Amino acid sequence: MMSIKVFVAGHQGMVGSAIVRQLESRAGVDLVMRTRAELDLTSQAAVQTFFAAEQIDQVYLAAAKVGGIHANNEYPAEFIYENLMIEANIIHAAHLADVQKLLFLGSSCIYPKLAEQPMKEAALLTGTLEPTNEPYAIAKIAGIKLCESYNRQYGRDYRSAMPTNLYGPGDNYHPENSHVIPALLRRFHEAKQLSIQNSKLNIKNSPDEVVIWGSGKPMREFLHVDDMAAASVHVMELDGAIYKENTEPMLSHINVGTGIDCTIRELAETVARVTGFKGQLTFDSSKPDGTPRKLLDVSRL
């Protein structure tokens, strides 16, 4: 059996590494990966040289600059610029190198802030985006439209999958740019450790509290990253006729999620219980909530 060369862009990230885990055990798959030091995906020349040399058959485009509300607020220019450059460079270079199949991984933040719930793929571009992550969302929408445009003009088979909020191995726990689950895990764990330390030192009246941005009312859907990776491979391997039958040429992305959500308060209470934090949870309503609800309609999948 002939092997296929598969390039996983962003293989060291949470999504990319999960896709690598899915593909490693498959016969006939020759994985191609490059670190950021080895290949700058924001450099058009470097990316085109790479594709011309490697003769890639399939691409999983999981590389992206990601972060939570704080990071999106602080660095909007970096989020839109880097993501646009990565997507445009890889998709265009793949086309020039005659790569027929590509899967672009996006985000559920592409949908309008007040989209009808659960959000169908048809909700795309029907309303105003959530301001706190608009630059990132616009970049992800551009990735979908790049794929659709290359399919339309050049007959490519470039597909898009839009995952819900992800968690799992390889997640980012940085205090400034992590997403909600790792951010809460870190904060509750650190608060618990501080409480234990204060108790040992017999420090009285020390604050035993975790303050969480927002009201706690927004609802979010969560999916384990390994389940997302399995769905990504499934979408990539779908027969072309079946994929086209279940999508539309200019609305071709597929939502990937569980169809179940919970409030941020419920999530925080769960994390507090799991980490063993016994202190007080305080919600700071002066901070932004973000989108009120983000539940995907996953009927296409």
Whether 128 is covered by a domain: the verdict is: yes
pTM of the entire structure? 0.88
pLDDT of residue 202: 63
Residues 60 and 163 in one domain: yes
Whether 173 is covered by a domain: the verdict is: no
Residues 151 and 22 in one domain: yes
In the structure, what pLDDT confidence band is assigned to residue 174 with cuts at 50, 70 and 90? confident
259: left (phi over 0), alpha (psi -120 to 50) or beta: left
Taken as a whole, the chain contains a residue count of 301
Q: Domain range for residue 192? A: 180-217+261-293
pLDDT of residue 204: 60
Of the ranges 8-12, 122-126, 195-199, which one carries the lowest mean pLDDT score? Answer: 195-199
Percentage of the chain beyond pLDDT 90 is: 78
Nearest to 224 by CA among 271, 253, 257: 257
Active site annotation includes 60: no
What's the Cα-to-Cα distance from 86 to each of 41, 62, 79, 140, 218, rounded to whole Å?
A: 5, 10, 11, 11, 31
Does pLDDT of 206 surpass 60? no
What's the Cα-to-Cα distance from 190 to each of 182, 187, 208, 279, rounded to whole Å?
A: 12, 5, 11, 12
List pLDDT tens digits, range 213-256: 899 999 999 999 999 999 999 999 999 999 999 999 888 999 99
Residues 160 and 280 in one domain: no
Q: What is the number of structural domains in the chain?
A: 2
pLDDT of residue 238: 95
Percentage of the chain beyond pLDDT 70 is: 96
Check: CB of residue 107 under 8 Å from CB of residue 119: no
What's the Cα-to-Cα distance from 193 to each of 174, 176, 200, 275, 287, rounded to whole Å?
A: 17, 20, 11, 10, 26
Of the ranges 127-136, 174-183, 226-235, which one carries the lowest mean pLDDT score? Answer: 174-183
Check: CB of residue 98 under 8 Å from CB of residue 46: no
Whether 300 is covered by a domain: the verdict is: no
Residues 124 and 235 in one domain: yes
Residues 88 and 202 in one domain: no
Check: CB of residue 244 under 8 Å from CB of residue 208: no
What is Dmax (Cα atoms) for the chain? 71
Spatial separation of the C-alpha atoms in residues 230 and 253, rounded to whole Å: 16
In the structure, what pLDDT confidence band is assigned to residue 70 with cuts at 50, 70 and 90? confident
Residues 82 and 101 in one domain: yes
CATH of the domain at 278: 3.90.25.10
Helix (H) or strand (E) holding 289: none
pLDDT of residue 200: 66
Whether 12 is covered by a domain: the verdict is: yes
Of the ranges 84-98, 105-119, 203-217, 283-297, which one carries the lowest mean pLDDT score? Answer: 203-217
pLDDT of residue 286: 94
Which residues does 57 contact at the CB level (< 8 Å), separation at least 6? 4, 5, 6, 99, 100, 101
Whether 25 is covered by a domain: the verdict is: yes
Residues 8 and 110 in one domain: yes
Whether 298 is covered by a domain: the verdict is: no
Spatial separation of the C-alpha atoms in residues 281 and 184, rounded to whole Å: 11
Spatial separation of the C-alpha atoms in residues 196 and 179, rounded to whole Å: 26
pLDDT of residue 1: 59
Which residues does 16 contact at the CB level (< 8 Å), separation at least 6? 8, 9, 10, 60, 62, 63
The catalytic position among 136, 150, 154, 243 is 136
Of the ranges 46-55, 138-147, 227-236, 276-285, which one carries the lowest mean pLDDT score? Answer: 276-285
* Residues 186-197, mean pLDDT to the nearest whole number: 86
In the structure, what pLDDT confidence band is assigned to residue 177 with cuts at 50, 70 and 90? confident
Spatial separation of the C-alpha atoms in residues 84 and 4, rounded to whole Å: 27
3-state DSSP assignment of residue 5: strand
Residues 107 and 190 in one domain: no
pLDDT of residue 173: 87
